[in-house]
Amino acid sequence: MLCPFCRQGETKVIDSRGSEDFVIRRRRKCLQCNRRFTTYEKLEESPLKVVKKDGSRVVYDRERIRSGIEKACYKRPVSPEQIEQIVNEVERGVYESFDREVPSRYIGEQVFDRLRHVDQIAFVRFASVYRSFQDVDDFANELKRLLRERDRSL
């Protein structure tokens, strides 16, 4: 580590502290000029890519997940906290299960499963986009499936 004051390369770490955001704060002392300074070390992550249906790859962005959920929940009694919880759960699953690439299908299924339990209208809205419904019959089939699952759980 170069001293920012005298540009010498020998420093001593006086104190180190970690944080929950994977950042380490280090207090250092230059062995040449005896001045002190602070450095921060952050874990460098390789960006996670999402493999789309057409085979293209885009950088993972949690805001895209949030946006899709918010559109499905528009004018529904779903709180911002519930949306944030779904986004956090999906993101946790993505990072626990994948290192470099995650299929968009996995993300969609995770959102799909969670919305089903939060709000059934939002679930059907999300399903209509996620499963690319083409006509009213697709909606009807999904609703029938939803009703059968509900009846089984009662």
- pLDDT tens digits for the chain (154 residues)? 899 999 999 999 999 988 666 789 999 999 999 999 999 888 766 789 999 989 999 999 999 999 999 999 999 999 999 999 999 999 999 989 998 999 999 999 999 889 989 998 898 888 887 777 777 787 788 778 877 877 787 6
**Nearest 5°: phi and psi at 30?**
-75, 130
Residues in the chain: 154
| Contacts with 70 (C-beta within 8 Å, 6 or more apart), sequence order | 83
Beta strands in 8-96 (DSSP E): 11-18, 23-30, 36-42, 49-51, 57-59
Q: Residue 20's pLDDT is what?
A: 63
How do beta strands 49-51 and 101-103 pair?
parallel
Cβ(47)–Cβ(59) below 8 Å: yes
Residue 82 to residues 43, 69, 96, 115, 126, Cα–Cα distance (Å): 29, 10, 21, 10, 15
Model pTM? Answer: 0.63
Say if residues 130 and 108 touch (Cβ distance below 8 Å): yes
Strands 11-18 and 23-30: antiparallel
